[in-house]
A and B are shown apart, each in its own frame.
Chain A
Amino acid sequence: MSAEFDVRYTAQLARLHLSEEEIATFQAQLSQVLEYVEKLEGVDVSGVEPTAHANAVHNVFRADESRPWFTAEEALANAPRQANGLFVVPKVVDS
C-alpha cells in the first residue's frame, strides 16, 4: 500500500500547497513511515472491536437553552478580513 502513496494527490485532498522540494522529501520520508506502520498487518485483529476513544462516552446532552457567549464582535476579533459583521472570503460561486 505504501507503494501507492502519492504525496501530491494527498496534499490536494488536505488543501495544502507544497513545493516540489517538499513533495520529494515527504514522499521519501513518509513512505518509510508507512512501511513501518504496515507492520500492523501482522497483528491478528479478527473479532476485535475498534477503539475510537479510551473512555467511550455516549450521548452527552446539555439543556437546549441560550446562554451568554461570544458577541459577533468578539467572534470576529481575530478575523484576517471582515466587513459588516461577517468574515470575508474570495468569491466562491460565479454569478
Chain B
Amino acid sequence: MDLPALSVTELQARLRSREVSPVEALTALEARIATKDAEIHGYLSRDFERARALAEQADVNLPLGGVPIAIKDVINVQGEPCTCGSKILLPYRASYDATVITRLRAAGAIPFGRLNMDEFAMGSSTENSAFGPTLNPWDTSRIPGGSSGASAAVVAAAEAFASLGSDTGGSIRQPAALCGCVGVKPTYGRVSRFGLVAFASSLDQIGPFTKTVRDSGLLLNALAGKDPLDSTSLDEPVPDYTGLLGRDVKGLKLGLPKEYFIAGIDPQVEAAVRAAIRHYESLGAEIVDVSLPHTEHAVGVYYIVATAEASANLARFDGVRYGHRAKDPSGLLDLYGRTREEGFGPEVKRRIILGTYVLSSGYYDAYYLRAQKVRTLIRRDFAAAFEKVDAIICPTSPDVAFKVGERSADPLKMYLADVFTIAANLAGLPGLSLPCGFAEVDGKQLPIGLQLLGKPFAEAQLLQIAEAYEQSTDWHKARPPLS
C-alpha cells in the first residue's frame, strides 16, 4: 500500500482499524521523503527519532491521533529549527511551541519536518529561500508558488499527509493552486498567530494544506479558536468544520466578480475556472454577477501595508537576542547594520527599505495612511457583495506555475502574481483554493486552482461549497508524475 499518498481521512481509517500503526505510517513517510525529496527540495530538516517517540505513544482515537503533519519553517516547534528560510535565523532553536502546535499535539497529531519557504514569507515562488528553491512536483523546472511553496509541494508529492502554512497575501492559496492541492486561509483572528514569526501582523493567518476538502476541515477543527496569547484572535464559536460537508449547493448564490477576469489571465486558467462555474450551475448553485470595484488597487495597498508592518516586525532581528550576529562590531549601529546585511536576502532587504520609506516622516500620510483608507474601500466592496451572495468564486492565480528564474529579476511582476489573493487578506476574509483542472504547457500538466472567498467565519460553508465540487469531479485524484 502507498501509505504516504493517503489523505488524512483515509490514513485515520487504517490507524483506527489497527491495519496500520502510527509508527508504520511515519516510517513510510520518512522513506518516501528520503527517496523523493531530492527532486523537489521541500524539507529543510526533520527529526524522525523525536517524531517516532510521539508515534509510539499516539492515541489514534484522538481527532488527529497519530497523523504526522509537516510544518512551514515560520511556525515555532519547541526544540526545532525555525529559520523562516533565512540565514539570520540559522542558529536559532525554538524555545516554545506555537499555539497551533500545542493544539495539534492536543488533537494527537505529530508535528514532523520543517518546510521550505520564501524568506520570512516574502515571495510567490519559494525562490527567495536562503536555502534554495522548492520545485513543483508536476514539473520540476517550475516553481511551486509561495511563500508556502513547500507546504503545497510536499502534500502534492505524497511527502506529507497534510501540512501547515501561512498566508499574508495568498501564500497558502496560490501554492495550493499551483501544486494541485487544497489550501485554506481562515478568517483573520480565527487561528492564533502566537508562535508564528510575524511578517505583516494585520494580514497573517495560519492554515492547512491537504489532499481533500474534508481533511482541511479536520485540521481546522484542531487549529481554530480564541487564544489568550494572541489578543487579535477572536472569541467566536468554533463549529465542526466537517459538519456541513455532503450537503448540496442548491440555491446557494455564488458571486462572480467581473474585476477578476482581466486581460492577462492565462486562457487555460480562465477556461478551467469558467468550466467550474458551469459545473456549480449544474449542481444547482445560482451564479450572480458582483462587482469589487477597488480590486485594481489591492496590490498597491498590500505592498504599502505589508512592507510597513514587516519593517517594524523585522526590527527584532538585530543580532542581540537570537540568530546571526556580525563578527567584531565596532559599535552598536555597526552590529545592527552588518548583522542585518549579512543575515537578510535581497527580497527582505527590498521590503524593509520600502516599508521604512512609506512610514518615514513626511511620507506617512501620502503612502501608509492613504493605503489604509483604500483598504477600507476594499473591505466595503466585499461587504456589499456579500449582501447579495453566499460566497465569491474566481481564479486563485492568473497563471499556472512559472519557470524557475523567470520572474526573479522583476519584483513588480512577481508582486502582481498575487492580484487575486491579496484582497481577502486586506479584508480579513476566509478563502480557499481547490484543484479545478490542468493547463497543458510544454507537454506537462500544470494544476489550476479555483478560489472561493467567504464572509467572516464562514469557513464551514466554504468547505461545503468546495467539497460539493471536489466530490463531483476527479481533479483531486490526479497525482503528479514524480515517480
Please indicate whether A and B come from the same complex rather than being unrelated chains: yes
Chain A CB within 8 A of B371 CB: yes
With known contacts A79-B322, A80-B325, A36–B356 Cβ distance under 8 A:
no
Which A residues are CB-close (under 8 A) to B329?
90
Once the chains bind, are A80 and B319 in contact (CB under 8 Å)? yes
Chain B stretch 118-167: residues in CB contact (< 8 A) with chain A: none
Once the chains bind, are A37 and B341 in contact (CB under 8 Å)? no
Interface of A is mostly: loop
B348-390 CB mask vs A (1 if < 8 Å, else 0) is 0110111011001001001101111111110100000000000
Once the chains bind, are B411 and A53 in contact (CB under 8 Å)? no
With known contacts A1-B363, A17-B341, A33–B303 Cβ distance under 8 A:
yes
- Identify B332's interface contact among A77, A87, A90, CB under 8 A: A90
Give Cα A33–Cα B304 distance, bound, in whole angstroms: 10
Give Cα A8–Cα B325 distance, bound, in whole angstroms: 22
With known contacts A48-B377, A89-B335, A14–B321 Cβ distance under 8 A:
no
Once the chains bind, are B377 and A13 in contact (CB under 8 Å)? no
Tally of contact residues, A, Cβ under 8 A: 51
With known contacts A16-B340, A54-B427, A30–B354 Cβ distance under 8 A:
yes
A72-95 CB mask vs B (1 if < 8 Å, else 0) is 001101111100000101111000
Chain A minimum-CB-distance residue to B296: A39
- Identify B370's interface contact among A10, A41, A87, CB under 8 A: A41
Which B residues are CB-close (under 8 A) to A91?
331-332
Size range of the chain B interface in the assembly: 35 or more
Chain A minimum-CB-distance residue to B335: A90
Once the chains bind, are A78 and B95 in contact (CB under 8 Å)? yes
Give Cα A37–Cα B425 distance, bound, in whole angstroms: 18
Give Cα A52–Cα B323 distance, bound, in whole angstroms: 30
Chain B stretch 69-105: residues in CB contact (< 8 A) with chain A: 91-93, 95-96
Once the chains bind, are B324 and A50 in contact (CB under 8 Å)? no
Closest beta carbon of chain B to A10's beta carbon, Å: 5
Chain B stretch 177-216: residues in CB contact (< 8 A) with chain A: 187-189, 202-203
With known contacts A15-B336, A60-B231, A80–B356 Cβ distance under 8 A:
no
Which B residues are CB-close (under 8 A) to A80?
91, 319-320, 322-325
- Identify A55's interface contact among B92, B188, B304, B320, CB under 8 A: B188
Which A residues are CB-close (under 8 A) to B319?
80
Chain A CB within 8 A of B221 CB: no
Chain A CB within 8 A of B346 CB: yes
Give Cα A11–Cα B411 distance, bound, in whole angstroms: 18
Chain A CB within 8 A of B217 CB: no
Once the chains bind, are B373 and A45 in contact (CB under 8 Å)? yes
Once the chains bind, are A74 and B95 in contact (CB under 8 Å)? yes
Once the chains bind, are A7 and B324 in contact (CB under 8 Å)? no
Chain B stretch 18-64: residues in CB contact (< 8 A) with chain A: none
Which A residues are CB-close (under 8 A) to B420?
none
A36-67 CB mask vs B (1 if < 8 Å, else 0) is 11011101010011111111010010100000
Once the chains bind, are B331 and A90 in contact (CB under 8 Å)? yes
- Identify A40's interface contact among B297, B322, B357, B360, CB under 8 A: B297
Closest beta carbon of chain B to A16's beta carbon, Å: 5
Give Cα A53–Cα B346 distance, bound, in whole angstroms: 28
- Point out which of A33, A77, A79, A92 has the most chain B C-beta atoms below 10 A from its C-beta: A33
Once the chains bind, are B412 and A49 in contact (CB under 8 Å)? no
Which B residues are CB-close (under 8 A) to A87?
320-321
Interfacial residues, chain A to chain B (CB-CB below 8 A): 1, 5, 7, 10-11, 13-19, 22, 25-26, 29-30, 32-34, 36-37, 39-41, 43, 45, 48-55, 57, 60, 62, 70, 74-75, 77-81, 87, 89-92
26 intermolecular pairs with C-beta atoms under 8 Å apart: A10-B357, A10-B360, A14-B340, A14-B352, A16-B337, A26-B349, A26-B353, A29-B412, A34-B357, A36-B299, A37-B300, A37-B304, A40-B301, A40-B304, A43-B370, A45-B370, A50-B373, A50-B375, A51-B426, A55-B187, A55-B428, A57-B234, A70-B95, A78-B91, A78-B95, A81-B325
